[in-house]
Amino acid sequence: MDTLNELLNGFAAALTWQNLIFAFLGCLLGTVIGVLPGIGPVAGVALLIPLTLNMDPTGSIIMLCAIFYGTAYGGTITSVLLNTPGEAASAITTIDGHAMTKMGKAGAALTIAAIGSFVGGTIATLGLVAAAKPLGELGLLVGPPEFFALMVVGISLLVALAGKSMVKALISGALGLLISMVGIDPVAGAPRFTFGMDRLLDGVSFVAVIVGVFGLSEILSYRKGESTVVHAPGFRSLLPTRNEWRRSAPSMARGTGIGFGLGLIPGMTGSVASLLSYGAEKKFSKHRNELGKGAVEGVAGPETANNAHANAALIPLFTLGIPASPTIAVLMGAFLQQGLTPGPTLFTEHSEIAWAIIASLFIGNLLLVLLNVPLVGLWTSILRVPAPILTALILLFMVIGAYTINFSVFDVFVMIGFGLLGLALRHLEIPLAPMVLTLVLGPLMERSLRESLEISQGDFSIFLNRPISAVLIGVGVLIICSPLLKLRKPKALMDDPET
């Protein structure tokens, strides 16, 4: 009953006109970011963090969450209409989504995707409501050694799943941790890796690094593409047939289950969820022979799965303080910048904010359906904006975003430097996801390691003497050693640009 009351209070806060506007703006911006092929959800959310710094924490996080799950739908529009995914999680939708466009069923594909996204997102949010209290209470029992071990598992999973080579993923993870250590040491107060520069005493700006590594490097790696002609589907063609509805329902159910389950596991991105959902359709769908030729199941399953994943991935963040994917890691950075520490204490110290954000997820999912289906023509018109104008405007927002973090030109230079680093990492095929995750988790991980060792007076066996941390460390080691056991990875994981 407590949970229901708190959720209702959350709705009361989320339904104020200011917060409704923030959710609406977030959905709008998220859809635009998802539509634009040049900018992914990680850079998109990071880019807009500075704009929310002056807002109250509730409105700010509501808007950023809406941007986050809005991108999951925006990417579908280009997948379906252009055969080009706006973001990685929608890549698999291109197969049947674009085939449906060629058959004159683009409208039905987009509507099914929107409804699937709503269903997956809403059910995953219900899961968050159910899990928040018990997991939060469990989380309160977790001490520094267990917390450290939990983060080891999260990072191990991401390292193991990111890219073709674990060696490169470990380099990426170590690089992120090193960047996070620039500045004043959190325990002894000693300056580290500041090269005598006062500006670096507060560390390297997280947002400038992310915008540089993910956003600017993406623009720097553009290659001349073919011009595309986009035709928006007419309003009448938006309604799927009764048969399409009937065929989509089981796919949505499977997509929800897969997306929700994978959202709870750190390291699993939305792309993995949509890929596995497509695999499930190939195995279980009654019309599996039509997959690849314009089957509605190929749109309904993956699109439901990636939105269920996006919302379920908030569960480990809210309850344990562990970001499950790179975009969630950026969101966690935004929480920290607002003075909110995600994790079990969020529900004890900032209960009203936590529940308002959860309630806004329901509202945002509904807003997305209302925004996306009737306005599909508007979204496709964004794609007709000439590339030089889009690139120039994206660069403009990157500069504003980097500058306004500390109102300092230094951060613009930081962004440019990390843009070049990101370009080099992309060229060397070093995955970017472990870096962003360790960048956020680095300070927390170091603090919990040092607190644990202080408790044990320097005895490292503390991690093995406590059952929960021993099991978690064991799981982490097993994951890192999995290549020795020659465990196979799905191919698409390797091709995921987000990782």
Partner 1 sequence: MTTESTMTQSPTRARPARSVLAGIAAFGALGAYVLVSSVGLGLWTSLGPGPGLFPFAMGVVLAAMSVLWLLQELKRPSTTGEGADGGLVLAVVVSLLLLAALLDLLGFQLSMFLFLMYHLKIRGKRSWLSSLLTALAGSVGAFYAFNYGLNVALPVSSIPVLNLIGL
Q: Taking the CA atoms of 424, 161, 476 and 142 in sequence, report the sign of the dihedral they define.
A: positive
Closest CB to partner 1 among 235 and 460?
Answer: 460
**SS3 assignment, position 430:** coil
- For position 24 contacting partner 1 by CB under 8 A, the verdict is no
Would you report the helix, strand and coil content of the chain in percent, each value rounded to 5?
A: 75, 0, 25
Closest CB to partner 1 among 12 and 424?
Answer: 424
Asked if 79 and 114 count as a contact pair (C-beta separation under 8 A), the reply is no
Give the C-alpha separation, 30 to 53, whole Å.
18
- For position 202 contacting partner 1 by CB under 8 A, the verdict is no
Closest CB to partner 1 among 181 and 492?
Answer: 181
| Among candidate residues 39, 391, 399, the one with its CA nearest the CA of residue 214 | 39
The helix (H) or strand (E) run that includes residue 114 is helix 106-140
Region binding partner 1 by CB under 8 A among candidate stretches 33-41, 120-128, 245-253, 412-420: 412-420
Give the C-alpha separation, 76 to 234, whole Å.
17
Residues in the chain: 499
Residues 48-87 that bind partner 1 (CB under 8 A): 50-51, 54
- For position 420 contacting partner 1 by CB under 8 A, the verdict is yes
**SS3 assignment, position 71:** helix
- For position 366 contacting partner 1 by CB under 8 A, the verdict is no
- Report in angstroms how near the CB of residue 155 gets to partner 1 at its nearest: 11
Residues 263-322 that bind partner 1 (CB under 8 A): none
Region binding partner 1 by CB under 8 A among candidate stretches 121-129, 282-290, 393-401, 478-486: 393-401
Closest CB to partner 1 among 194 and 341?
Answer: 194
Tell me the CA end-to-end span of the chain in Å, nearest whole number.
40
Asked if 269 and 498 count as a contact pair (C-beta separation under 8 A), the reply is yes
- Report in angstroms how near the CB of residue 225 gets to partner 1 at its nearest: 11
- Report in angstroms how near the CB of residue 426 gets to partner 1 at its nearest: 5
Binding residue for partner 1 (CB under 8 A) from 3, 103, 202, 222? 222
Residues 136-195 that bind partner 1 (CB under 8 A): 164-165, 167-168, 170-171, 173-175, 177-178, 181, 185, 187-188, 190, 192-193
Binding residue for partner 1 (CB under 8 A) from 17, 388, 467, 491? 388
Token couple for 451? 């607190």
Residue 14 makes CB contacts below 8 A (sequence gap 6+) with: 20, 23, 62, 356, 357, 359, 360, 363
- For position 457 contacting partner 1 by CB under 8 A, the verdict is yes
84: region left, alpha or beta (phi > 0 left; psi from -120 to 50 alpha): beta
Binding residue for partner 1 (CB under 8 A) from 202, 349, 352, 454? 454
Give the C-alpha separation, 135 to 174, whole Å.
29
Token couple for 157? 């999973």
Give the C-alpha separation, 65 to 251, whole Å.
26
- For position 484 contacting partner 1 by CB under 8 A, the verdict is no
Q: In 10 A of CB 371, how many CB atoms?
A: 21
- For position 392 contacting partner 1 by CB under 8 A, the verdict is yes
Region binding partner 1 by CB under 8 A among candidate stretches 80-88, 271-279, 297-305, 423-431: 423-431
The label of the residue with tokens 């018109």 reads 381
Give the C-alpha separation, 393 to 33, whole Å.
12
Closest CB to partner 1 among 195 and 242?
Answer: 195
Binding residue for partner 1 (CB under 8 A) from 141, 224, 226, 286? 224
Binding residue for partner 1 (CB under 8 A) from 138, 238, 416, 494? 416
Residues in contact with partner 1 by CB under 8 A are 50-51, 54, 164-165, 167-168, 170-171, 173-175, 177-178, 181, 185, 187-188, 190, 192-193, 216, 219-224, 386-389, 391-393, 395-396, 399-400, 403-404, 407, 409, 412-413, 416, 419-420, 423-424, 426-430, 446, 449-450, 453-454, 457-458
